[in-house]
Structure 1
Amino acid sequence: MEFTELEERARALAASGARRILGITGPPGAGKSTLAARLAQALGPERAVVVPMDGFHLAQAELERLGRADRKGAPDTFDAAGYAALLARLRTPAAAAVYAPAFDRSLEEPVAGSIPVAPSVRLVITEGNYLLYGAGEWAEVRAFLDEVWYLAPDDALRVRRLVDRHVRHGKAPAHAEEWVARSDEANARLIAPGRTRADLVVE
């Protein structure tokens, strides 16, 4: 599917009157954040803003306390209930901006209050791995999303992208490959069943 078609579909959501929330999901390395950023840029900051799921990563210190640091990125390494609560709050524009957290990849940490969502914004684009994951508190997320798109690129290309991304952010190549094979691909297998519940599959 061409980007222009996706842009038209996002514009239609943004023009529907009430604020809408578009979810973009798929396995690690699928291109979710790239597509979300392109859509937001095309629609303009007065109309659309990106609120990433990754802002709800638990802090590194908390992951270490819980013994989950070696599985960072797994479903239980996020504040899923907090993410669902923010989506619920974003459904209806408030009188003032609502602030969402971001994830700083240079720090590998979430940063609170980073993304303002102004009352004028008609489309919130949220992207992340677990938007269609049905276990535990993640099951609440789908109800707050007007549409969910599932990105399904070629797996070999996706894995190469992932390894390259980990290397860019400081992992040695061998460590990056091991992390992708052990952690990211395990998460990809958890995410895959959600494809059948997406409104649109983008291959």
Structure 2
Amino acid sequence: MLESLAADAVALGERVPRAVLGIAGCPGAGKSTLVQWLLERIGQLRGAGWVAHVPMDGFHLADDQLRRLGRLGRKGAPDTFDAAGYARLLDRVREDTDIDVYVPGFDRTLEQPLAAALVVHPTARLVITEGNYLLLGTADWVRARQAMDQVWFVSADDQTRTARLTARHVEFGKSPDAARAWVTTVDQRNAELVSQTATAADRVILNGAQGWAISA
């Protein structure tokens, strides 16, 4: 099944000078796992530089800004991102195909965005972008969606998804109790919002106990 997804992604990039594929889904659903696999497999199929990565997480507002805005306690919610900057960057990625385009990444150890951590080379025919809110129907998120050729939605059962999230928070410094509290009070609220957007996806991909499957 994963091979068919890689083939479909390659086909998308071959249709236009540069395509943008979005991978959306709830926190902990497995978006990053799928994206990493696609990047590696497409690189094998089409060579280095044919596919590039632009994570939405690079547009997290830094903690200093979240403190200023009073939003640090809900970091990860839609209004804790620079959605306008993300939309403009995707426009630029589509249009500036003859130069290197530097894009921000995200350091999970620091829990902070990193300017110019990644680059889209002129050789890139496909750009994969991932994030929770790619299908959110409000303001600048709509503009960001308009820059994407397709969006695939990754879905996982809640028990598996929340277990992954808790383990991730512990790995990057939270105590087990703090991790569980954050998943319950912050991540779950965001997940409920994101899950409602699945119907707007071009394809729904299930990440379950039996492996990956295409739902729609």
Once structures 1 and 2 are overlaid, which stretch shifts more, 166-175 or 90-99? 90-99
Are 2:187 and 1:184 aligned?
A: yes
The CA distance in 2 between the partners of 1:7 and 1:94, in whole Å, is: 22
Residue 166 of structure 1 aligns to which amino acid in structure 2?
A: H
| Cα shift at 1:15 | 2.0
Q: Structure 2 stretches of 5 or more lacking a match?
A: 207-216
TM-score by length of 1: 0.97
The Cα shift of 1:92 comes to 2.4
Structure with more of its chain in strand, by fraction: 2
RMSD in angstroms over aligned alpha carbons?
0.9
Deviation readout 1:11-44 (Å, 9 max, x if unpaired): 1112224200000000000111111111011111
Report what 2:140 is aligned to: 137
Contact 2:87 2:144 in 1 (8 A): yes
The Cα of 1:49 is off from its aligned counterpart by: 1.1
> How far apart in 2 are the matches of 1:200 and 1:177?
31
Provide structure 1 residue ranges, at least 5 long, that are not aligned to the other structure: none
Distance 1:186 1:37 in 2: 26
Does residue 33 of the first structure (1) align with residue 36 of the second (2)?
A: no
Task: In structure 1, give the amino acid aligned to 2:168.
Answer: R
Amino acid of the structure 2 residue aligned with 1:8: A
SS in 2 for 1:51: strand
Q: CA deviation at 1:3?
A: 1.0
Segments of 4+ in structure 1 off by > 6 A?
A: none
**Percent of pairs with identical residues:** 50
2:57 counterpart of 1:54: yes
- 1:99 is matched with 102
Alignment check: 8 A CA contact 1:19 1:123 kept: yes
Could you tell me how far apart the structure 2 residues matched to 1:29 and 1:196 are? Answer: 19
Query: CA-to-partner distance for each residue in 1:30-77, whole Å, 9 max, x for gaps?
Result: 111111111011111321011100000000111011110000000010
Matches within 5 A, 1:48-197: 48-197=51-200
Mapped to 1, the partners of 2:62 and 2:189 lie a distance apart of 21
TM-score by length of 2: 0.91
Contact kept? 1:37, 1:50, Cα under 8 Å: no
Tell which deviates more after alignment, 19-28 or 153-162.
153-162
Q: Which amino acid aligns with 2:6?
A: E
